[in-house]
Amino acid sequence: MLVTELKPVEEILEFLEGKENIFLLGCNGCAEVCKTGGEEGLKKIEEELINSGKKISGRLLVEFVCNKFLVKLRLERKRLDLSHSQALLVLSCGIGVQAVSKVTDLPVFPAANTLNLGGFQGLWPSEERCQACGDCLLAYTGGICPVTACSKSLLNGPCGGATNGKCEVDPEIECGWVKIYNKLKKIGRLDILSHIIPPKDFEKMRPSSQIRKTRFFDIEKETLEERGEEL
């Protein structure tokens, strides 16, 4: 399971600037448990956006947003709503946002940050990867993670060693920033490359004290405290 928390509404509104008609897509899997997705998370974001003057062009809940085939099928049934949408705001972990980006040509934005709980949290068989950095940047990179798609985790473009679109570290794979550029070009958002992403604040990878007190972080500790036993 991946743990998420909603981004500040101010940050969401910043990358939705100029986008008035927003389609909401929420995850009924991990994010629903964290209350960042599901009906509860969807309703909260919907109210925030409407109060900020945005229009909700459509809404959809999918059992697991990380399942590209399922998302593609469900979005196909929402073609009319999507045709009136300028952006798709995804309430899920970083993997879910990347999966949605693979199956739509609409600009896709993350509503949540994925939290790093340390250690190995699960196995994902597809090509999407999430470092759980606590500060999701997918809004600025076409839904492709620069931290995991780039072998050097560069945040503002390719290194000087990329050749013919291939990675300097491993010439058999495509340069992550070539992927990002091609995606942004496809959806008509090359202008967003002018946004300079600041250096990573690795302090954000550490879950807040509130999260560290929950069963998401340490189920044994919470269980002992509930029973009144000493740690």
**In-domain check, residue 156:** no
**In-domain check, residue 107:** yes
Report the alpha-carbon distance of residue 206 to residue 105 in Å, rounded: 33
**In-domain check, residue 194:** yes
Which domain, by its residues, includes 17? Answer: 4-148+189-226
Report the alpha-carbon distance of residue 101 to residue 95 in Å, rounded: 10
**In-domain check, residue 169:** no
**In-domain check, residue 125:** yes
pLDDT in tens, 197-209: 999 888 887 777 7
Query: Any idea what the CATH number is for the domain that residue 132 is in?
Result: 3.40.50
**In-domain check, residue 157:** no
Burial (CB count <10 Å: 0-12, 13-18, 19+), residue 92: buried
pLDDT in tens, 3-46: 899 999 999 999 999 999 999 999 999 999 899 999 999 999 99
**In-domain check, residue 88:** yes
In total, how many domains does the chain have? 1
Count other C-beta atoms under 10 Å from residue 18's C-beta.
7
pLDDT in tens, 155-195: 999 999 989 999 999 999 999 999 999 999 999 999 999 99
